[in-house]
Amino acid sequence: QVQLVESGGGLVQPGGSLRLSCAASGFTLDSYAIGWFRQAPGKEREGVSCISRSGGTTNYADSVKGRFTISRDNAKNTVYLHMNSLKPEDTAVYYCAAGGIATMTFPLQYDYWGQGTQVTLSS
């Protein structure tokens, strides 16, 4: 069964950190570019970050640049999103997706999506 599973979300105070994981089963992630997206209540889904198949190219939304880092460990079939200096506006459900092209602006090109993990900022 082809599946992407996100984990690592939770409740954190502003200024805190989290590491989200995106693990694949049923296929190998090294054949795919990976994107991280998020959706907050009442808002549209937005691209957060993406990484190429090799990991050599990464991109970030302006809102997270300098705070978030995407990385991949193909040996573990997992992609990570390291989130630092979290802000209340980072509250959202975070999704990872696997596809042929690393993009944050064309989510429809991604073939596989996870179910999401909730990140909540609260003081």
Find the radius of gyration of the CA atoms of the chain: 13
19-78 per-position pLDDT tens digit? 999 999 999 999 999 999 999 999 999 999 999 999 999 999 999 999 999 999 989 999
Alpha-carbon span 26 to 44, nearest angstrom: 29
Say which residue the tokens 């190998």 belong to.
28
Residues 6+ apart with CB under 8 A from 90: 38, 64, 83, 119, 121
Alpha-carbon span 34 to 105, nearest angstrom: 13
79-107 per-position pLDDT tens digit? 999 999 999 999 999 999 999 999 999 89
Residues 6+ apart with CB under 8 A from 52: 33, 58, 102
Please give the pLDDT value at position 123: 79
Q: Give pairs for 66-74: CB < 8 Å, separation 24+.
A: 70/34, 70/36, 72/29, 72/34, 74/28, 74/29, 74/30
